């Protein structure tokens, strides 16, 4: 059995990428809108800039970030009244981001599926 920190991967340009303990993040900053239906079902969407960051765990000086790219998040949810002015609910989301790497290695892209819990003051 081989330790993951000893493995190496090759990207599409045949550059070797070591797989150490790394933290990768997708940051999405944009504008969004949410529409509520009569039964407190809702749809939401955001579109904006996406940036990827990579950091080596335990070493704050190692890592980097991508150029700004495009990204979006869409979701569907349902809320229930839990008081006169409060609603609680659940939301399913799909997030996607794409950006060029600053070192010209290529394009970075990622998607994520998530479940979120909501709390709304009305």
DSSP 21: S
For residues 51 and 65, the answer to whether their CB atoms sit within 8 Å is: yes
CA distance 115 to 92: 5
Coil, strand or helix at 7? coil
The token pair at 73 is 């998040």
Q: How far is CA 50 from the centre of its chain?
A: 9
Instruction: Report pLDDT digits (tens) over 5-14.
Output: 444 444 455 5
pTM (whole model) above 0.75: no
Closest CA to 45 of 25, 28, 67: 28
User: For 21-68, what is each residue's pLDDT tens digit?
Assistant: 777 788 899 999 999 999 999 999 999 999 888 777 766 566 677 888
């Amino acid at each position: 059995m081989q330790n993951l920190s000893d493995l190496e991967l090759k990207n599409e340009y045949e550059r070797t990428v070591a797989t150490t303990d790394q933290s990768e993040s997708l940051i999405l900053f944009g504008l969004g809108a949410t529409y509520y239906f009569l039964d407190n079902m809702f749809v939401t969407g955001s579109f904006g800039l996406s940036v990827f960051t990579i950091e080596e765990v335990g070493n704050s000086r190692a890592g980097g970030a991508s150029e700004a790219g495009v990204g979006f998040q869409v979701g569907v949810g349902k809320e229930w009244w839990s008081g006169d002015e409060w609603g609680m609910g659940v939301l399913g989301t799909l997030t996607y981001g794409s950006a060029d790497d600053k070192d010209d290695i290529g394009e970075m892209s990622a998607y994520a599926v998530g479940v979120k819990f909501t709390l709304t003051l009305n």
